[in-house]
Chain A
């Protein structure tokens, strides 16, 4: 049997990191193939090599038995490889037909051939079995329709191989169902589909075969999905190291005044009747799927969005937090953001400024301005305490490794002497070892009396760290569980909490 696509021994190095270190994958026509792995495992790099965005340093790529190495995305597209990237790649001001043929519009004497353009677009939509007005502006379409236009665009030239990177991330449940029907239609027509997703439910619902990547290596290669349990797949993704980390049991004193108490809080973003209590020294886990409203709740607590009802009680006192400045300087709340690059750090500034930014006021000495020495002292203290690897305090943060950057973004809140720390996906995009270090660090901080709200979509991480776990779904807290750190039992309970509410909400 010939394969639609065969990759063998792919290696790709970027400056300072080996993103792929021997990846094999075989793809049969008429199958949906799941590509799984944690953040940073190499999924996107693999997708980009197959589609000609990057070129592999070593290894081979074959289509229908023939060695092919694509130098550009257009070359890959003409060879019959279509891709829908995680980010949207449409021009909102163009029509559906124009967007579908965007990569290489049909031309006659250098001018776009409108008739052929419409014909190509319409054929692609028919293949998908969907009906969208060819002349509608893409900016006017719904998110789900745009997603379908993206797929039609990927299929405009041919439909041998289609790669989808997290296609359901921005879709609702029913929109995703519709998408799956389309994918099944394509499969039945003989298209080989690579489906990249974090949501195991979806993967098990529609995929036939599976490849799992971990740290740039394919640890499970093109296996039949049915022969593997969910548990086996998850273990392969996270690896043994993490599963075998010693469990650290802690006790939290809940007889003292709570550090944070929310009573029936409603917010302008749509949270309803949120109750939660966090004690000093406690790690309070907030688990849920992407879009459940966890980061949004954090932002409301920081005064970035309005709280419209209920009460926030900090250390026994009801408060109204109006903005981030107040949250930080008056109420001593810190927020370690999920996206370091976009929201957490000043990449072009030295470590010194990134750590001290929260305490410049305290370090200022009248007319002489911010004391350089005091700034250096504060920075050095946290560089030592958190074991941040820097050449000097003057090093630009953008030049540090991901794990060290994350530690800097934590250091600025510790420097500000916060009493309550909200950590949003603190280990996304850091390697396994740094992740383990970070887990130790978070537990140590809690042991020293800091109240921590941990937001994480990483279930093993949540179960390893949190003292109690609340499950959030659709901007409500649907269940709170005491965590006994026994992974098999806890994961089942948490999954139940998520699924039970599917029924109550529906």
Chain B
């Protein structure tokens, strides 16, 4: 594990965001008179971090290969609905429904991947299509009802804590560590980044770009599956609105976290910290009973500002590098 944490850069978006988070958190704690430090407040802060972290990474993986996944919310919605319906209407045991759900989201990711590779269309267009299809599927599964006929213990399972940390949050963090390992150490992960960075050079280096693109979509599917799982393990019921508000946060977390839209790079730590900062904005909203529309406005501004800033930083550093002498 040491090598993994040692890899976390002490500069760049991740570190900046950590400072922003600590700063913002302290301000909130002070202005709220310390109520934010209560056990309940902390654990609710962490609980609602799990999904943003997971979907942020699901988007990050696809961005890394140079594409986008617009179907993240629809995949999550359909997967959650499927699990709920299997348990409620078909009496499947919890473990079987979970396996079915994970298999479903993985298959949906694979479907995106296959379609992108076979049609040679951009991932943006393919996932726009599958998103629309899946919204229909989700509606067919739950209609206008809230499906909640699955065991009560499951609805609260994610909220249980171990040494004060909710299982949901733990799941998200463990997943982040695995994703980080995947990109830094495995051949497949590095090849995926190579494809995103320069597909022509990747091909000439003996890397199959098709395999990389397929893989990115499959992993995105797996991560959405985990996000659906923590959703069902913390929500009182599943209806057709689940997943409807996942798409924007997934981009926001990845982009604020420092992932380039052009592909070739990931920022796991940055994405996690970006999700934390976004979550803090939400907490502030609750704390001061701010209007939700203003919160959205602020998030939008932050996204634009961060992208502009990273673009500017990149351009400046390229210029510096161009002028820098290479030591003899």
User: Are both chains from one complex?
Assistant: yes
Tell me if A445 counts as interface (CB < 8 A to partner B): no
CB nearest to B264 among chain A residues = A348
Please encode chain B, from 161 to 205, with 1 for each CB lying within 8 Å of some chain A CB and 0 for all others. 000000000000000000001001111001101100110111111
A357 partner residues in chain B, CB cutoff 8 A: 190, 194, 205, 207
Known: A16-B323, A325-B207, A399-B321. A370 touches B197 (CB 8 A): no
A105 to chain B, nearest CB (A): 31
Cα A337 to Cα B203 with chains together (Å): 12
Cα A342 to Cα B203 with chains together (Å): 12
Tell me if B324 counts as interface (CB < 8 A to partner A): yes
A390 touches B326 (CB 8 A): yes
B117 to chain A, nearest CB (A): 15
A358 touches B321 (CB 8 A): no
Known: A360-B187, A369-B186, A370-B186. A16 touches B322 (CB 8 A): yes
Please encode chain A, from 386 to 426, with 1 for each CB lying within 8 Å of some chain B CB and 0 for all others. 00011100001011110010000000100000000000000
Q: Which of these, A324, A353, A372, A404, contacts B204 with CB under 8 Å? A: A324
A433 partner residues in chain B, CB cutoff 8 A: none
Q: Which of these, B187, B205, B325, contacts A370 with CB under 8 Å? A: B187
Tell me if B265 counts as interface (CB < 8 A to partner A): yes
Partner-binding segment picked from A61-69, A115-123, A327-335: A327-335
A347 touches B197 (CB 8 A): yes
CB nearest to A412 among chain B residues = B205
Tell me if B319 counts as interface (CB < 8 A to partner A): yes
B323 touches A353 (CB 8 A): no
Please encode chain B, from 249 to 263, with 1 for each CB lying within 8 Å of some chain A CB and 0 for all others. 000000000001000
Cα A369 to Cα B4 with chains together (Å): 12
Cα A347 to Cα B260 with chains together (Å): 14
Tell me if B241 counts as interface (CB < 8 A to partner A): no
Please encode chain B, from 307 to 327, with 1 for each CB lying within 8 Å of some chain A CB and 0 for all others. 000000000001101111111
Tell me if B206 counts as interface (CB < 8 A to partner A): yes
Known: A325-B207, A412-B205. A361 touches B321 (CB 8 A): no
Cα A369 to Cα B203 with chains together (Å): 22
B185 touches A369 (CB 8 A): yes
Q: Which of these, B185, B208, B265, B323, contacts A325 with CB under 8 Å? A: B208
A346 touches B326 (CB 8 A): no
Considering only residues 10-34 of chain A, those with a C-beta below 8 Å from chain B are 14-16
Tell me if B89 counts as interface (CB < 8 A to partner A): no
B191 partner residues in chain A, CB cutoff 8 A: 360
Tell me if B328 counts as interface (CB < 8 A to partner A): yes
CB nearest to A356 among chain B residues = B190
A391 touches B326 (CB 8 A): yes
Tell me if A429 counts as interface (CB < 8 A to partner B): no
Please encode chain A, from 318 to 362, with 1 for each CB lying within 8 Å of some chain B CB and 0 for all others. 000001110111000001010000111111110001000110110
A346 touches B185 (CB 8 A): no
B112 to chain A, nearest CB (A): 24
Known: A345-B198, A349-B194, A399-B321. A335 touches B265 (CB 8 A): no
A344 to chain B, nearest CB (A): 6
Known: A343-B200, A389-B326. A369 touches B194 (CB 8 A): no
B259 to chain A, nearest CB (A): 12
Tell me if A86 counts as interface (CB < 8 A to partner B): no
Known: A15-B319, A349-B193, A390-B326. A344 touches B264 (CB 8 A): no
Known: A348-B265, A370-B187, A391-B326. A329 touches B206 (CB 8 A): yes
B206 touches A325 (CB 8 A): yes
Cα A451 to Cα B197 with chains together (Å): 30
Tell me if A501 counts as interface (CB < 8 A to partner B): no
B11 to chain A, nearest CB (A): 14
B185 touches A15 (CB 8 A): no
A382 to chain B, nearest CB (A): 15
A360 touches B190 (CB 8 A): yes
B325 partner residues in chain A, CB cutoff 8 A: 16
B322 partner residues in chain A, CB cutoff 8 A: 14-16, 399
Q: Which of these, B264, B319, B328, contacts A389 with CB under 8 Å? A: B328
B207 partner residues in chain A, CB cutoff 8 A: 325, 357
A337 touches B208 (CB 8 A): no
B190 touches A389 (CB 8 A): no
Q: Which of these, A327, A343, A369, A389, contacts B206 with CB under 8 Å? A: A327
A371 to chain B, nearest CB (A): 9
Known: A369-B181, A389-B327, A396-B321. A361 touches B187 (CB 8 A): yes
A300 to chain B, nearest CB (A): 14
B201 touches A353 (CB 8 A): no
A391 partner residues in chain B, CB cutoff 8 A: 326-327
A346 touches B198 (CB 8 A): yes
Please encode chain B, from 114 to 156, with 1 for each CB lying within 8 Å of some chain A CB and 0 for all others. 0000000000000000000000000000000000000000000
Cα A325 to Cα B3 with chains together (Å): 31
B200 touches A370 (CB 8 A): no
A368 touches B194 (CB 8 A): no
CB nearest to A360 among chain B residues = B187
A346 partner residues in chain B, CB cutoff 8 A: 194, 197-198, 201-202, 264
Tell me if A364 counts as interface (CB < 8 A to partner B): yes
Give 28 A-B contacts (CB < 8 Å), ordered by A residue.
A14-B322, A16-B323, A16-B325, A325-B207, A325-B208, A328-B206, A342-B198, A342-B200, A343-B200, A343-B201, A343-B204, A344-B201, A346-B198, A346-B201, A347-B197, A353-B194, A357-B207, A360-B187, A364-B186, A364-B187, A369-B181, A369-B185, A369-B186, A370-B186, A389-B327, A396-B321, A398-B318, A398-B321
Question: Could you list which residues of chain B lie within 8 angstroms of chain A, going by C-beta atoms?
Answer: 3, 181, 184-187, 190-191, 193-194, 197-198, 200-208, 260, 264-265, 318-319, 321-328
Return the 8 tightest CB-CB contacts between A and B, nearest first.
A369-B185, A399-B321, A328-B206, A15-B323, A15-B322, A325-B206, A346-B197, A343-B200
